Amino acid sequence: GQQLNQSPQSMFIQEGEDVSMNCTSSSIFNTWLWYKQEPGEGPVLLIALYKAGELTSNGRLTAQFGITRKDSFLNISASIPSDVGIYFCAGQVKTSYDKVIFGPGTSLSVIP
């Protein structure tokens, strides 16, 4: 079945540094979503991508929909302490429009 892989699994960075993380799959997705989850809460949508090659920004966050439709990337520029959390990619399955599956997440820690 479909499965998403995220790397790195965790990151420890200094405040002000840029962050890059990615998400890959062996299956094709027609929508990529990036979520952030903070402790004790449900995930919150950050960016949605709909077309191969699409590059979308949301403040300091930028995400790209891979050309092959099997991967996506999220970059965070000039990290700040409130960026701490778990970042999940999620993909909408090509063959089943409503089925949305999530990757295992990248845990981000920012050292002030």
Partner 1 sequence: NAGVTQTPKFQVLKTGQSMTLQCAQDMNHNSMYWYRQDPGMGLRLIYYSASEGTTDKGEVPNGYNVSRLNKREFSLRLESAAPSQTSVYFCASRLHLIESFSGNTIYFGEGSWLTVV
Give 83's DSSP letter. G
SS3 74: strand
SS3 81: helix
Nearest-approach distance from CB 68 to partner 1, in angstroms: 20
Measured from the CB atom, the residue of 44 and 80 that comes closer to partner 1 is 44
Nearest-approach distance from CB 98 to partner 1, in angstroms: 4
Measured from the CB atom, the residue of 68 and 96 that comes closer to partner 1 is 96
* Exposure string for 81-95, b = 16+ CB within 10 A, e = fewer: eebebbbbbbbbbee
Nearest-approach distance from CB 48 to partner 1, in angstroms: 5
Measured from the CB atom, the residue of 15 and 57 that comes closer to partner 1 is 57
Measured from the CB atom, the residue of 67 and 98 that comes closer to partner 1 is 98
User: CA 34, 10, 37 angle in degrees (round to 5)?
Assistant: 40
Which residues in this chain contact partner 1 in the complex, by CB under 8 A? 1-2, 4, 6, 9, 31, 33, 35, 40-45, 48, 50, 88, 90, 92, 96-105
Partner residues linked to 48 by β-bridges = 33
